[in-house]
Structure 1
């Protein structure tokens, strides 16, 4: 029997690989001779680089740049041969992530995506032509203007003076992104953006109003930033006939999605991109059952998360899919009909802090995997008989 395992990371507890190995141990308790197809996976957020490295290999690159507050940082990104093409994979959160700050009105005014552009430039300097950027976990709300500045764009205030580097969105009156576009043309890079957010650039469902508060923005700041985002959106229409208000995902990562869109980047769902790069469907289609899961399984998990993507693969090939989660809602919405079954891995009453420990998480995954595989084994035996 061949069993597929494609677990997302359990945030704050275990990586995708550690979760998968715990499930494998549980399965091997019952089926010691089972063949296991263990896939490190991600939906394009945390753990993406490790998942790609685990499947494709490559070389880690270390670079000195600045984080979202212009503090010096050393960051890693990956250069790998993906589908026959030399590719750089960059997690924006490693450079401009929310974890670098205590969100406040002050950090909103000062933060910028500038450092991310420096990493892209470094990759281009190494002869890379394809650059994949994951957008999850950003701490900025600058409309991606810092990124554009870093790549050469010129931004101007109401007095037509060049704007400084700290959150240029606050002061933007006009801009010229041609130098940034010229950099992309001259370097020959093709940008691809892994993103599962559907919000547009500005407006009530845009970057400022939806994501600004979690990054420290006050109501008045959100209002002002939104007005500025709409100025940039108008520029996109007037200059390039690109309407960021109609581009799904342009509001991702504080508007980074929109900036990449203006640069001609290909926008793709995080899981779809990762599934393609990791060749998940081909690796899983010959299995008798697939295990997946994440830290918190709920109705939102159907929107581009790993369990939903794995369930789609399973349903495509008629393979049962079992989800294991640190917690699961009573109702999983649309996902309820896509999964064969979904279980919480909690074995006894405990505090949240205890439940999040690596030891407890791995113990729960191993135990529930072993019990659920017994049911599948009995089911397969019944069919065979």
Structure 2
């Protein structure tokens, strides 16, 4: 029996790699003859860097830069096994967890460090980038990042504005002629499953601003300022990208990268391609995937639904094993052979996360139980078929 294990992370408790290893360890113990193909997944958010480096035998490059509050931070970027492609994870440079709860306010956070790390990697000789846009604390339309890349944003007195979110209120003039020439030689592939435009009710400010600390009463004014900022930049460059799907990703970083002729692609698809998931599924009997919580939103392009889609194309059944099953989870039964939660009864979120490793191992044993039955029935059928021949 061959199984492909391709989960997302259980955010806040276990990385995708940790989830994969726990499932593999239990299955091998319970079904010694099983063949496991581990393929940790991600969608462009936290954990994407680890997943890609594991799958391609890449390496981490530790560096320092400026964090979301413009303070010095130790961070990193990755280089894939091909030795030429850099992976930058926004969550590791300007991530929301990097900002104390009492200081979360996208008017005061910055993407400057992201541009700084890009320049560092480019100076080191790299030109191909995969940028993972999930988990940001920012909503500056990429202003800070673009400043780090050399773009000038000036106020009414022709002074450079600070590289933080609220500076979009002050920008009166933009100058891309000062963009660092090295960027013209770079190519950027953006890993994101967010399809929102930059502005309006479905844009970055309204949809994602509140969870980053933006007050509801400030949404309309801030969104209008973002529109003015975007129109100014687009007028300067003679292009229009703010309405394109993904422009609103990571508080408008998608918009900034589109200005640099970047490609925005499904994070799940990028990971699947980089890890050869389709090839790993060849001749597999089952696929096991999962995430922290599965609910009706899982079907909107999240990792488990993407994995299940690939498995279906290969005529393989998919088992869903997640931290919990939430609102509308019954819709998932049309897409998965079975759906499992690792919780064993009424539990607090904190308790579940603290004991995630043990709970995951226990539920994996339950899955192994019926996989053994299926495997035994298959072997008996094969033996019967041989006798009849």
Other-structure match for 2:387: none
Alignment of structure 1 residues 28-107 onto 2, 5 Å: 28-82=28-82, 86-103=84-101, 107=105
Q: Which residue of 374, 379, 384 maps to 2:372?
A: 374
Name the residue aligned to 2:326: 329
The CA distance in 1 between the partners of 2:345 and 2:86, in whole Å, is 44
Q: Distance in 1 between matches of 2:315 and 2:59?
A: 37
Q: Give the drift of 1:126.
A: 1.3
Cα deviation for residue 139 of structure 1 reads 0.3
Q: CA separation of 1:363/1:2 partners in 2, compared to 1, >3 Å: closer, same or farther?
A: closer
Secondary structure of the corresponding residue to residue 70 of structure 2: coil
Specify the alignment match of 2:138 in structure 1: 140
Matched-pair contact (CA < 8 Å) for 2:197–2:248: yes
Residue of structure 1 equivalent to 2:121: 123
Shift of 1:361: 3.3
Give the deviation of 1:19 after TM superposition. Answer: 1.3
SS at 2:290 equivalent: strand
Give the match for residue 176 of structure 2.
Answer: 177
Q: Which moved more, 1:139-148 or 1:369-378?
A: 369-378
Paired with 1:174 and 1:225, the residues of 2 have a C-alpha distance of: 18
Aligned to 2:246: 249
Q: 1:238 Cα deviation (Å)?
A: 2.7
Aligned to 2:285: 288
- Paired with 1:322 and 1:177, the residues of 2 have a C-alpha distance of 50
State the secondary structure of the residue aligned to 2:118.
helix
Kindly tell me: are residues 360 and 31 of structure 1, through their superposed partners in 2, closer, same or farther at Cα, counting changes over 3 Å? closer
Length-normalised TM-score, structure 2: 0.91
1:167-226 CA deviation, whole Å, 9 max, x = no partner? Answer: 3323222312233274411xx110111111111011111111111111111234322221
CA distance in 2, matches of 1:178, 1:319: 52
More displaced, 150-159 or 327-336? 327-336
Segment of structure 1 superposing worse, 45-54 or 112-121: 45-54
Query: Which deviations, in whole Å up to 9, do the C-alpha atoms of 1:62-112 show, x marking residues without a partner?
Result: 111110101110101111234xx6111010111101112235687333211
Higher mean C-alpha deviation, range 72-81 or range 371-380: 371-380
Instruction: Give the deviation of 1:241 after TM superposition.
Output: 4.3
The match for 1:267 is 264
Rounded Cα–Cα distance in structure 1 between residues aligned with 2:250 and 2:219: 15
2:349 aligns with 352
Report how far residue 334 of structure 1 moved. Answer: 5.8
2:225 aligned to which of 216, 228, 240:
228
Q: What is the aligned length?
A: 381
When the two chains are superposed, the root-mean-square deviation of aligned CA atoms in Å is 2.2
1:253-286 CA distance string (max 9 Å, x none): 1111100110111111110111111111111222
Shift in alpha-carbon separation, 1:344–1:379, aligned structure 2, 3 A: farther
Out of 306, 309, 312, the position equivalent to 1:312 is: 309
Counterparts in 2 of 1:261 and 1:21: CA distance versus 1, 3 Å: same
Q: Which stretches of structure 1, 4 residues or longer, exceed 6 Å deviation after superposition?
A: none
**CA contact under 8 A between 1:181 and 1:263: conserved in structure 2?**
no
CA contact (8 A) 1:4 1:290 kept: yes
Task: Give the Cα–Cα distance (whole angstroms) in 2 for the partners of residues 148 and 209 of structure 1.
Answer: 23
Aligned residue in 1 for 2:337: 340
Task: Supply the distance in 1 between the matched residues of 2:254 and 2:377 (Cα, whole angstroms).
Answer: 46
Out of 154, 157, 162, the position equivalent to 2:155 is: 157
TM-score with structure 1 length normalisation? Answer: 0.92
Q: Is 1:23 matched with 2:20?
A: no
Structure 1, unmatched stretches of 5+, are: none
Take 2:233 and 2:374, find their aligned partners in 1: how far apart are those partners?
A: 54
